[in-house]
Amino acid sequence: MITEIEKREIEAEIKKAPTKKAAVIDVLKVVQKHRRWIPDEALEEAADMLGMTPAEVDSIATFFSLIYRRPVGKHVILVCDSVSCWLVGYEDVKQHLMEMLGISLGETTKDGRFTLLPSACLGVCEEAPAMMIDDDLYTHLTPSLVDEILQKY
Ligand code: FES
């Protein structure tokens, strides 16, 4: 169930937007900020506040890779899976991440520490290959740099 705090923040987002529906991504971000992902019940209540059906909100939520419809780990790693990164080492970086973490893309480590997800272009193609961990962007990746970076988390 959506909490009072979430409700207030959602109402504030709806007020800022030109229409209720235009606030949908910001509303989902509010829910995700509080829960780390968007469970069905919260999505249904948010849809109700937006005057939308749960199916409409769900289709938007699943379209955006930064909105999570399943539980995620403490840290979310988004490894860029787009063309510039493919050309300069994506495969090695991805393989190394999967080996280090013992998981495949789309999975979370057993200790709940990391979730590894593929991402569309992160917008830093000239510095490929790239990944984000939570809000931190890392570029010019190599397997050994990935090791160093993971130590920080
Ligand atoms: S393709 Fe990876 S950052 Fe653009």
Q: How far is the CA of 144 from the centre of ligand 1 (A)?
A: 20
- Decide which of 20, 36, 63 is a domain's last residue: 63
Along the 153 residues of the chain, how does pLDDT read in single tens digits?
899 999 999 999 999 999 999 999 999 999 999 999 999 999 999 999 999 999 999 999 988 888 999 999 999 999 999 999 999 999 999 999 999 999 999 999 999 999 999 999 999 999 999 999 999 999 999 999 999 999 999
Residue 86, SS3? helix
Report how many domains make up the chain.
2
With a Cβ cut-off of 6 Å, ligand 1 is lined by: 80, 82-85, 121-122, 124-125, 128, 130
Considering the domain architecture, whether residues 30 and 52 belong to the same structural domain is answered as: yes
Tokens of 147: 């090791």
Two structure tokens written together for 53: 């059906």
Range of the domain at 127: 75-151
* Stated pTM of the model: 0.85
Ligand 1 center to 148 CA (angstroms): 21
Nearest to 122 by CA among 113, 109, 133, 114: 133
Residues 93 and 59 occupy one common structural domain:
no
